[in-house]
Structure 1
Amino acid sequence: MSACTPLRDGEPEPDRPRGTGRGRSSEKPGRPAGQRRGARGRWAADLAASLTVFLIALPLSLGIALAAGAPLQAGLVAGAVGGLVCAWLGGAPLQITGPAAGLTVITAELIQTYGWRATCAITVAAGVAQIGLGCLRIARSALAVSPAIVHGMLAGIGVTIALAQLHVMLGGEPDSSPLTNALELPERLVAVQPAALSISLLTVFVLLAWPRLTRRGGPGGRLAGKVPAALVAVGLATAASVLGDMRLPRVELPSWSAHALPALPDGPLLGPATAVLTLTLVASVQALLSAVAADKLAAQRNDGRVPRSDLDKELRAHGATNIVSGLAGGLPVTGVAVRTSANIAAGAVSRNSALLQGLWVLVAAGLLVPLLEWIPLAALGALVMVVGVRMVNLTHIRAVSRHREALVFGATLAGVVLIGVLEGVGIGIGVAVAVALHRLAHTRIQADDDGGAGSGEPLRIVVRGQLTFLAVPRLSRALARVPEGADVVVELRGTFMDHAAYEALEDWSATHRASGGGVEVVNGAGRQLAEPSAAHTCTPWMPWRNHQCTRPEGGEPAHTPRRGQLLGGVGNFQRATAPLVREELARLAEEGQRPSHLFLTCADSRLVTSMITSSGPGDLFTVRNVGNLVPLPGQDAGDDSVAAAIEYAVDVLEVESVTVCGHSGCGAMQAVRGSTGGPGDAAGSLGRWLRHARPSLRRLGAPDRPVPRLADRETADELEALCLANVVQQLEHLTAHACVARRVGAGKLELHGMYFHVGEAQAYVLDVEGTDVDRAVFRAVRPGRAVG
């Protein structure tokens, strides 16, 4: 809700930071400074971001090519093409595309099986398939894959990469099998090359320590922190190897003239077709997930400059990029989450940052070859090994464990490591389906032994889970133990009941009622699903008079005593709601109330404060009276109850905000206007009380005081205008109370105004324009849109 501090006439508005006030300003309020930049500022932001991403991408592109067993220049080709082609054609403006660790295992297996030229051809074919999928507009469907499967696949790929690169760090050559790499590690440790190990350990140390060192280094550290850890680690390792005159395998970038065109693999096409399918699916899912993550990161900046991703367009762009990369002798590409997040964090605002970083990679591939060839392979191996370890993300593991998907995650991870990527994903899908079927079939049926004969309470049978034919035998056994003639409540806490279960429950209910027993079937919220003579299908929060809204055909509407309505509602609370809130209420009873909000509103029965504010026990300290009035303090106030409640809430409970809430069709305001036959003018208690609303009527009639209005539509009539003016007037009365004025002046209390239109079921919150509280506007609260 929008906070406002009402001011009396002639009082100055408190100072506000520049650009945040609601008055006129040379700058538009609420807009970030970056949004006011011109084209030059946008280009500057994209240029800075592109350099940051380039410094990350350059060593990683070489390292991923090394890990895949591809020519090292293939990583540079993929990095350049990913930036230049995909950024130009893509639908995710801030996503960075290039060679990714998630495709390393697949690419390495393809090179091992078919050779490099055939791998390039498979990359081209996968690009064609991606374009086809994008044209079919099924990109959103690809996101339906369980996150546990995706995270398990990436973790399995990370384990495979880490095991292979450990051999490179120790100065050896990895095997194509992760299991073999794991088994041969002890032998490799015996024959370790000290120079390779020292360079690798230096690289790992710098990668892990650089972020911590820059965070603690003050202004200089923050400046150094703009240099990526990967570049610093590889640079220091290269310098150490050169200064130490170490004889180590280094990067070799042959002449670009040595590039060979893709060639179709020999033999049957079934194997290559499977490879195309695997590469297409993994690259597409990773690209789309990265694009969705980019949207989330961009939305957190809340600057409105970057449109949401067009996933189908992005998928087609990835297909075109893989075609170009394969034809040019590059690795397959996909969306890279690490570089994408770095791009957004560095301030990129358009696709120009990705285009520029692709250009920088291309320039480096042409001009920096002599410098790149000094890099030791052990440093690149250590870099990629750390990337692989980080792919086993502990946050993801905790998330899938919370959702009871650890089995799916573990099965996918094990399948990827032990068999292969496509096979591992297939295993993960199979386990996910089995888990879903188990949950569908696993139904818990529990009988409450505390109820039944002699206790005064009905016997309760609770069914948790989906009630299908598989659970009918257990349900029948539980129902058979119900004593004859006993009252029983069957509570269904699932979302589905098939025909077999329905027939079993219905037949038993009819038999039990015939023997003199009572049966009530309710859902988890306590709503009756079936009743012998007065079934109804009303929402529990509907008014009591509507609780008999539907009856069986021919049923007579029995008269329900008013006391019975109240007790019936209490009974529903005890059955359905009390078990859910009992623990929280027990905590509040022990600790005492600590509400953060005083809510002052009308006593009108149509205003259900907890419903319109979605609040629960302990949230609101509520004061209700006729007309939501706040009498001015003084001996002639005539009523101290409201002032006492305000003082208690502000001084004792120390609430942080106070809201005055009026509503449409207020009877008190009608009485003040004299439209109800004069009860507001009577000498009784009501007449004396409504004296406190007369300042609202005078405010509305004053020619020099603008009328508060609604921002979304015209005020319906004079009564609605008076209801709005009354909210503003009572807020002004609030500030006359010493406790309120003191806390507001200290910045510890906010005042809010609110208007609820009953017929529209729409809340409006008070906003203040300029320095005059009279120039107030009530803005509608809309889902997903900030107010104020």
Structure 2
Amino acid sequence: MFRDTLSSRLSTLRHDVPASLVVSLVAVPLSLGIAMASGAPLAAGLIAAVAGGIVAGALGGSAVQVSGPAAGLSVVVVNLVLTYGWRATCMITLLAGAVQLVLGVLKAARAALALSPGLVHGMLAAVGVTVALAQLHVVLGGVPRRSAVADLIELPGLLAGLLAGLHGDKVLTGLLTIAVLAVWTRLPRRARTVPAPLAALLVAAGTAWLLDWDVTRVTLSGGAEWAFPVLPQGDWHLVVAAVLLVALLAGGESLLCCVALDERRGRGRPADLDQELTGQGVANMVSGALGGLPVAGTVMTGAANVAAGARTRCAAMLHGGWVLLFALGFGWAVPLVPVEALAALLVCAGVQLVNLGHVRKVHGRGEVPVYAATLAAVLLLGLTEGVLAGLALAALLALRRLTWVTVLKRAGGNGRLQVTVSGSLTFLGVPRLTRELRTIPAGTPVELDLHIGFMDHAAFEALHSWRLAHERMGGTVEVDEPHDEWYALATGGARPGPAKPPPAEPGRWRLSWYQRRRRPARRPAPAIANGGSVQVECRLTAGPREHHRRAAPPVRPVLTEPAPRPQPTHLFITCADSRIVPALITGSAPGELLTVRNIGNLVPRRGSEPSDDSVVAAIEYATQVLGVHTITVCGHSGCGAMAGVLSGGVRAGSLPGLRRWLRHGHHSLARFIETEGDRLHGGALDVLCRVNVQQQLENLRTYRKVDEQVRAGKLELVGLYFDVATARAHPVPPLRATPLVKTADGRVRTGEE
């Protein structure tokens, strides 16, 4: 056991050590550049990288998250430095870490994920634009201003100076750095072993040294001696606001980055967000006490860690150790780096924060107004004011969505008008509701369907008053509530409140006819005249009427929307037994399953007699036209067809067609006798039902196209056994296991050797 544990740890380190080296090579130049953009000593960036790597890596809740100074916080830090000074900014960082620690202990991390995506991405985009504009001034030989608007106003003057040839060497250094960053990603994989930021700085520094360019040099310490942080002087309300701002921004960026890395990684245990927030808090306290920048998880270093093959938190901790080793042993190399090269690096980092993929994502969720408003407000007013403006707009839009009422009217049968009201009925939606209801002609029979999640008293009064007035004018109103019975409760004297009533019974389509007859009817069953006598309507005629009222409205858009129309991705072969409902067993929506049902869920082998073109046609269409991903064979307990096979056809009686069909189950019986011969008594039928599923999966492999697609890993054969008594579906393994194979590009997929 000790040997296995040691071997496992050594195998992990073989992945984590190289990954930590790659991440440290990315982190060192970024840390220096972020420190410069924040108006802090350059050593503060390295201190934050060390604290984030070692402390947050050891105490955090993610195995691959890498923490350090974040470009998104540089705008906040530079304002804090200008307002309170550097030592007071360090104290704000320390106090922000304490706030994060408390929030993590209180399990409040999930609350950060409730923020609007448009707000978060709009804030990051605005910070990216601000950072890029400020550092572009440095590249062009100017000095950054305190706002993005001021930087933008002065940009034409700097461009004019560039055309006049001023600051030529400095501009060339910055442009060379940007060019290397742009070209590096297009080089072959072997050439990209060195991370792009490090390569850009090496090329720029080497070129400036060889050609003796006139560039600005930096120093690691910035002329500052370490001293313990001091409390900020000024209005304590503003100090508290600054502490909360740093804590929430750093914590929110870390948690969102953590979730994004979990999605990118796609394997392993998901991150513990509360533990991650706790680790970030301790790291910020250490960084602030030692004179470092605020710490946060960053997408750039985290993505580099995942891409380099990191498996455990050891990679992040080792990365912090490598950065510390660089600061202690190679600090002499920092003055060789031109300031313009670091500024160009920050320009590219800022541009990367403006992600067009995020714009497409928020557009799909209707968050573009929040994104645009937050972006504009942060650029024009400042970070705090912009975030508050984005929060206010997001809250207003959420309130609008929650209170939006949709009223659809369409003609029904027998001159009836079907009215469907959807949404939340509150006082804000009363004007629209009453306006639509008043357009209904007097005396019209109305079927009113309320698909609502809430109804306040004002909405009830408006709806009930209209109903009474409509009925006084000779019309009729039948109110149906498929979900929660808000109107019925209020009509009966119960006051609608914020708490929802107990869940309603399952929809009628899930109940048997016997159960439906036991339920109290909402309306009298219609009768059909037949030669002077009254005949009760056939239950299979009433069923479609119920479908038209309840199921058809929500299903119709799925089936009729122009694009993309649903296309089945699974072929489901099951028994004709009425207790087997494929949509319920698999939780599938209309359009997702191509279903084949027959007696005994049998799949005739290729070329067998009697032939069955129906099943064969379905298999051919599913695999060659639809390109389904899986074919599932689902058997069930107590199958009558298998009882007939087990009896040798005796139970088929005088049904010649059934006896011929059950011949396709002889292979299942033979395999059952061969493998389960000692279980011919006691539970033999259910064992045969399971074996039959396995045999039908084998029968599918007799079809050439199916077998080829299974071998290529494009098609999966799945067996299910539905236990009727417990209403549970259990997986049935196929007789031939499908191994994993490695493709030419190095990925592992399902297939056969």
TM-score range, shorter chain: 0.7 to 0.9
Change over 3 Å in CA distance of 1:692–1:518 after alignment to 2: farther
Q: Which amino acid aligns with 1:355?
A: M
1:121-520 alignment runs, 5 A limit: 121-192=91-162, 193-212=167-186, 214=187, 221-254=188-221, 258-298=225-265, 300=266, 302=267, 304=268, 307-448=269-410, 451=411, 456-510=414-468, 512-513=470-471, 517-520=475-478
Aligned equivalents of 2:276, 2:506: Cα separation in 1:
47
Change over 3 Å in CA distance of 1:694–1:170 after alignment to 2: closer
Helix, strand or coil: the match of 1:541? helix
1:540-551 alignment runs, 5 A limit: 540-542=508-510, 543-551=512-520
Aligned equivalents of 1:524, 1:552: Cα separation in 2:
14
Helix, strand or coil: the match of 1:206? helix
Are the aligned partners of 2:19 and 2:310 in contact in 1 as well (CA < 8 Å)? yes
Report which stretch shifted further, 373-382 or 241-250. Answer: 241-250
Report which stretch shifted further, 137-146 or 223-232. Answer: 137-146
Q: Which amino acid aligns with 2:185?
A: P
What TM-score comes out, normalization by structure 2 length?
A: 0.84
Aligned equivalents of 1:147, 1:739: Cα separation in 2:
45
Aligned equivalents of 1:505, 1:39: Cα separation in 2:
68
Residue 496 of structure 1, CA deviation: 2.4
Report which stretch shifted further, 514-523 or 338-347. Answer: 514-523
Q: Which amino acid aligns with 2:463?
A: L
1:44 corresponds to 2:14: yes
Aligned equivalents of 1:596, 1:268: Cα separation in 2:
63
Return the structure number with greater relative CO, CA threshold 8 A, min gap 6. Answer: 1
Are the aligned partners of 1:286 and 1:334 in contact in 2 as well (CA < 8 Å)? yes
Residue of structure 2 in register with 1:762 after alignment: 728
Residue 164 of structure 1, CA deviation: 0.9
Q: Which amino acid aligns with 2:580?
A: L
Residue 52 of structure 1, CA deviation: 0.5
Match of 2:652 among 675, 680, 701: 680
Are the aligned partners of 2:572 and 2:632 in contact in 1 as well (CA < 8 Å)? yes
Residue 228 of structure 1, CA deviation: 1.0
Helix, strand or coil: the match of 2:185? helix
Report which stretch shifted further, 755-764 or 519-528. Answer: 519-528
Aligned equivalents of 2:536, 2:706: Cα separation in 1:
41
Residue of structure 1 in register with 2:578 after alignment: 605
Change over 3 Å in CA distance of 1:660–1:588 after alignment to 2: farther
Deviations 1:270-309 (A, max 9, x none): 33222212111111111222222233333x1x3x4xx432
Residue of structure 2 in register with 1:10 after alignment: none
Residue 117 of structure 1, CA deviation: 1.5
Q: Which amino acid aligns with 1:282?
A: L
Residue 101 of structure 1, CA deviation: 0.4
Report which stretch shifted further, 155-164 or 439-448. Answer: 439-448
Change over 3 Å in CA distance of 1:333–1:646 after alignment to 2: same
Aligned equivalents of 1:53, 1:590: Cα separation in 2:
42
Are the aligned partners of 1:169 and 1:381 in contact in 2 as well (CA < 8 Å)? yes
What TM-score comes out, normalization by structure 1 length?
A: 0.80
Helix, strand or coil: the match of 1:263? coil
Helix, strand or coil: the match of 1:70? coil
Deviations 1:427-449 (A, max 9, x none): 1111111112222333243433x
Residue of structure 1 in register with 2:496 after alignment: none
Residue 552 of structure 1, CA deviation: 7.1
Residue of structure 2 in register with 1:668 after alignment: 641
Q: Which amino acid aligns with 2:36?
A: L
Residue of structure 2 in register with 1:108 after alignment: 78
Aligned equivalents of 1:114, 1:171: Cα separation in 2:
27
1:700 corresponds to 2:672: yes
Helix, strand or coil: the match of 2:193? coil
Aligned equivalents of 2:621, 2:309: Cα separation in 1:
47
Helix, strand or coil: the match of 2:509? coil
Cα RMSD (Å) = 4.0
Deviations 1:378-404 (A, max 9, x none): 111111011111111111122112211
Match of 1:119 among 89, 92, 95: 89
1:68 corresponds to 2:38: yes
Q: What fraction of aligned residue pairs are identical, expressed as a percent? A: 43
Change over 3 Å in CA distance of 1:522–1:338 after alignment to 2: farther
Aligned equivalents of 2:47, 2:647: Cα separation in 1:
83
Change over 3 Å in CA distance of 1:622–1:426 after alignment to 2: closer
Aligned equivalents of 1:71, 1:510: Cα separation in 2:
76
1:539 corresponds to 2:507: yes
Aligned equivalents of 1:422, 1:471: Cα separation in 2:
33
Report which stretch shifted further, 393-402 or 492-501. Answer: 492-501
Change over 3 Å in CA distance of 1:688–1:163 after alignment to 2: closer
1:728 corresponds to 2:694: yes
Aligned equivalents of 1:500, 1:716: Cα separation in 2:
65
Report which stretch shifted further, 500-509 or 81-90. Answer: 500-509
Are the aligned partners of 1:594 and 1:653 in contact in 2 as well (CA < 8 Å)? no
Are the aligned partners of 1:521 and 1:528 in contact in 2 as well (CA < 8 Å)? no
Q: Which amino acid aligns with 1:172?
A: G
Deviations 1:471-493 (A, max 9, x none): 33432343333333322222334
Helix, strand or coil: the match of 1:258? coil
Helix, strand or coil: the match of 2:61? coil
Residue 413 of structure 1, CA deviation: 1.9
Report which stretch shifted further, 414-423 or 697-706. Answer: 697-706
Change over 3 Å in CA distance of 1:568–1:501 after alignment to 2: farther
Task: Show structure 1 runs of 5+ residues with no match.
Answer: 1-33, 215-220, 709-714, 773-785
Deviations 1:649-696 (A, max 9, x none): 3456645665432211223334455699x7434465545554554554
Residue 245 of structure 1, CA deviation: 1.0
Aligned equivalents of 1:308, 1:596: Cα separation in 2:
28
Match of 2:602 among 629, 654, 672: 629
Aligned equivalents of 2:678, 2:122: Cα separation in 1:
63
Residue 614 of structure 1, CA deviation: 4.5
Residue of structure 1 in register with 2:741 after alignment: none
Are the aligned partners of 1:490 and 1:522 in contact in 2 as well (CA < 8 Å)? yes
Deviations 1:401-428 (A, max 9, x none): 2211112222222222222222222111
Residue 551 of structure 1, CA deviation: 1.8
Q: Which amino acid aligns with 2:616?
A: E
Deviations 1:731-764 (A, max 9, x none): 4555667887898899987654332222333223
Change over 3 Å in CA distance of 1:350–1:562 after alignment to 2: farther
Q: Which amino acid aligns with 2:515?
A: N
Are the aligned partners of 1:123 and 1:322 in contact in 2 as well (CA < 8 Å)? yes
Aligned equivalents of 2:408, 2:675: Cα separation in 1:
70
Q: Which amino acid aligns with 1:546?
A: Q
